[in-house]
Amino acid sequence: MDKQVIRIIKGDITEQEVEAIVNAANSSLLGGGGVDGAIHNAAGTKLLEECRTLNGCATGEAKITQGYDLPAKWVIHTVGPVWHGGNSDEDRMLARCYRNCLKLAAERGIKTIAFPSISTGAYHFPIQRAAEIAMNEVISFLNDRPVFDRIVFVCFNDDTFSSSNRVLNERIK
């Protein structure tokens, strides 16, 4: 795997010049706070209209919509797990989020994708643990299917940025 494919930045996912951005959505897919609210606000009302036709999304699954007013052509919505102390299958469900987003993007021929830190905001998943799961899933997927030109982790704050960088540097030497 070419380590130049994975990038970690601090910024706003709604401004990324990629083909698809990932929305850390709630199960209704009808908007909410954090990343979800920011994406819905930036994409405009047509995103909500399309999301209403999807009948929600289960934790760990992924669904795709158009990006509407976003720079990205597509939004891949995934529902991360709520942290309950680590004994409720949270790690496996978070891994499924990343895997299913990558699979859906690859099926659509998407070559560039941006991820937020799924479940680490309102769902309280520990940032370091989430970063490890995210990097493991992305690196594993790329090793099996090197179909992406660029995968960007867009971090909202310094803690997420430093944790993600630390984990990536440990995984790719």
Residue 168 lies in a domain: no
> Would you call 36 a catalytic residue per the annotation?
yes
Domain that holds residue 146: 20-163
pLDDT tens digit string along 52-106?
Answer: 999 999 999 999 999 999 999 999 999 999 999 999 999 999 999 999 999 999 9
Res 4: pLDDT: 84
Residue 77: phi, psi to the nearest 5? -95, 130
Catalytic residue among 36, 69, 91, 159: 36
User: Looking at the 3D structure of the chain, how many domains does it have?
Assistant: 1
Alpha-carbon span 21 to 65, nearest angstrom: 10
Q: What is the pTM of this model?
A: 0.96
pLDDT tens digit string along 8-31?
Answer: 999 999 999 999 999 999 999 999
**Confidence band of 172 (pLDDT split at 50, 70, 90):** confident
Q: Which CATH number do you get for residue 116?
A: 3.40.220.10
Alpha-carbon span 40 to 25, nearest angstrom: 10
Res 78: pLDDT: 98
Residue 98 lies in a domain: yes
Residue 13 lies in a domain: no
